[in-house]
């Protein structure tokens, strides 16, 4: 068991951070509710149990999970540092798992699958009912780990856990979800279709939702598969905690494995023949490689890639509600959501609302995610910050306008944080800031003459994850819903992510594989159908004459 602690070196660094101060045109105002870095970490130490087997916050190693054993394994030659994005303090080191240990993980997962697939659906349901209770019990612990490693605000981190918990709650209905079909197609002849598991599956997860996205693949386990999770090497803590909660819930050893690493781990997953299916969420480059390589090797692959989510604001929209919704959807989680609102299409007179949009965005407080007054936390890495700031600069170079500039934001006590403040750009569709997924707190505003022009802009974009419109006119909303080309549509809802009783439905360039990450279509991905036609003729009990006619089943 490992206990989290604040080392003397960290305490010294905190004292220096507290004594330092800096100001700029974008300096954050001090508030009575703000906490010092020392107090924030002291609160974390006081409230987080620190008794998790696979995760560390004192600079020690994060482990793999191999056959129920939390272990780094042998042959590790490279380590990846995980730093607090607010301070750059070293939290843990993630192993680049050796090839021999990756093979051992699949060995254990395959052995576990051969037993788990034969377990009753009620036994599997019982594990998830227990897991549901354990996640609720440790909701805050998981959220603290996310805030510490990923940077999002504590309230937002709790939402991350909650959306994953909702998937688990839905999966608790697995006996109904797995129900097959049966029909007597002819006298004494039955045809039955049922779902059966695939084998060993793998989920390659991104950094931006460290709890929710690993739990999206929970249905794989409930369906009778074994599952290997590869968390992001940038923030593995929540995934390790969830793995331990699965163990406490009674999941047999080896059914769930955790494999850490970067490119070599991904390459192994795509090429290992015993891995039958891969679910991926992340960027275009990695997703295309995983889809093409995995498919070439005979695997099922679903890949959710980049996004450029547009929102139309119509002149008849409720101005106050629309502007508040747009600001929250664009800048929440520092824009690091695959469904973040990244483009505002201002129709007609709503172009005059931009100054008010700027005023509201400017009020958002940037800071450490544990500070309850913080509304925007840091970006995940210094490299992410550099990329976002480069795309902001490109807008001006290419003829656009930086209406609100979040570069150079200063957060007292956190001089080394990966902070970028809310940024609003005015651009056109030819510019890099419009075409590329920025993945930061940046909203690009483009202008449209009317609804038809606005829809044309959206439909011309290569991505199709989600889109939304703000209007008070039902006919406008109906036309938008019918003609816009995106998979997830919000009407007066800025981030239209469906709940897990439905299915994720991104399309166009945002998806490869045309399946779903959760919901009924997610279950389709993780199972295969068996159709059995059987004949038990009642007259065969007494008849001794054979028939040589063609069977017509009539």
Catalytic residue annotation? 338
In 10 A of CB 11, how many CB atoms? 13
The pair of three-digit structure tokens given for residue 291, joined into one six-digit string: 């889809």
Instruction: Quickly list H helices, 172-283.
Output: 174-177, 212-216, 218-222, 237-248, 263-271
| DSSP state, residue 401 | E
Q: How many residues does the chain have?
A: 554
What is the rounded distance in angstroms from the CA atom of residue 81 to the CA atom of residue 434? Answer: 32
Q: Are 106 and 99 in contact (CB under 8 A)?
A: no
| DSSP state, residue 348 | G
The pair of three-digit structure tokens given for residue 106, joined into one six-digit string: 């699949």
What is the rounded distance in angstroms from the CA atom of residue 447 to the CA atom of residue 351? Answer: 7
What is the rounded distance in angstroms from the CA atom of residue 329 to the CA atom of residue 104? Answer: 43
User: Whose CA is closest to 535, among 194, 192, 190, 193?
Assistant: 190
What is the rounded distance in angstroms from the CA atom of residue 87 to the CA atom of residue 89? Answer: 5
Residue 532, SS3 per DSSP: strand
Burial bucket for residue 72 (CB in 10 Å: 0-12, 13-18, 19+): buried
Q: What is the dihedral of CA 7, 10, 12, 18, to 10 degrees?
A: -140
Name residue 181's beta-bridge partners: 193
| DSSP state, residue 192 | E
**How far are the Cα atoms of 101, 276, 303, 308 from residue 460, in angstroms, in the given order?**
46, 35, 22, 11
């Amino acid at each position: 068991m490992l206990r989290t602690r604040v080392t003397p070196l960290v305490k010294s660094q905190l004292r220096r951070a507290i004594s330092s101060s800096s100001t700029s045109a974008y300096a954050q105002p001090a508030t009575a509710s703000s906490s010092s870095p020392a107090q924030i970490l002291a609160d974390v130490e006081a409230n987080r149990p620190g008794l998790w087997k696979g995760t560390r916050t004192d600079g020690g190693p994060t482990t793999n999970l191999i056959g129920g054993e939390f272990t780094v394994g042998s042959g590790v030659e490279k380590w990846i540092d995980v730093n607090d994005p607010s301070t750059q303090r070293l939290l843990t080191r993630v192993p680049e798992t050796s090839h021999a240990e990756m093979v051992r993980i699949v060995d254990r997962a395959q052995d576990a699958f051969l037993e788990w697939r034969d377990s009753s659906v009620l036994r599997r349901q019982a594990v998830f009912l227990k897991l549901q209770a354990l996640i609720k019990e440790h909701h805050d612990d998981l959220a603290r780990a996310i805030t510490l490693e990923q940077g999002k605000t504590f309230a937002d981190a709790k939402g991350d856990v909650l959306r994953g918990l909702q998937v688990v709650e839905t999966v608790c209905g697995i006996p109904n979800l797995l129900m097959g079909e049966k029909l007597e197609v002819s006298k004494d002849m039955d045809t039955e279709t049922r779902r059966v598991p695939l084998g060993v599956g793998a989920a390659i997860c991104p950094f931006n939702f460290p709890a929710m996205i690993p739990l999206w693949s929970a249905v794989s386990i409930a369906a009778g598969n074994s599952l290997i999770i590869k968390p992001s090497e940038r923030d593995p803590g929540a995934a390790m905690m969830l793995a331990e909660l699965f163990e406490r819930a009674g999941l047999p050893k080896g059914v769930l494995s955790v494999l850490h690493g970067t490119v070599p781990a991904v390459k192994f997953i795509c090429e290992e023949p015993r891995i039958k299916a891969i679910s991926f969420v992340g960027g275009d480059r990695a997703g295309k490689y995983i889809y093409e390589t995995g498919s070439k090797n005979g695997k099922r692959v679903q890949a959710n890639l980049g996004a450029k989510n547009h929102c139309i604001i119509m002149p008849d929209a409720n101005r106050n509600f629309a502007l508040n919704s747009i600001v929250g959807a664009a800048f929440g989680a520092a824009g690091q959501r695959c469904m973040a609102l990244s483009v505002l299409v201002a129709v007609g007179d709503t172009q005059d609302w931009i100054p008010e949009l700027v005023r509201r965005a400017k009020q958002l407080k940037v800071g450490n995610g544990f500070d309850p007054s913080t509304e925007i936390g840091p970006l995940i890495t210094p490299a992410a910050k550099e990329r976002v700031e480069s795309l902001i600069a490109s807008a001006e170079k290419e003829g656009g306008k930086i209406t609100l500039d979040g570069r150079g934001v200063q957060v007292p006590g956190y001089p080394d944080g990966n902070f970028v403040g809310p940024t609003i750009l005015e651009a056109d569709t030819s510019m890099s800031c419009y075409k590329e997924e920025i993945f930061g707190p940046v909203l690009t505003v483009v202008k449209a003459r009317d609804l038809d022009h606005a829809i044309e802009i959206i439909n011309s974009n290569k991505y199709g994850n989600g889109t939304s419109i703000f209007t008070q006119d039902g006919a406008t909303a109906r036309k938008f819903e019918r003609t816009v080309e995106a998979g997830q549509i919000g009407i007066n809802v800025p981030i239209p992510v469906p709940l897990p009783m439905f299915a994720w439905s991104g399309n166009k360039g945002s998806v490869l594989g045309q399946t779903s990450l959760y919901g009924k279509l997610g279950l389709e991905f993780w199972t295969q159908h068996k159709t059995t036609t059987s004949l038990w003729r009642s007259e065969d009990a007494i008849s001794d004459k054979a028939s040589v006619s063609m069977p017509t089943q009539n």
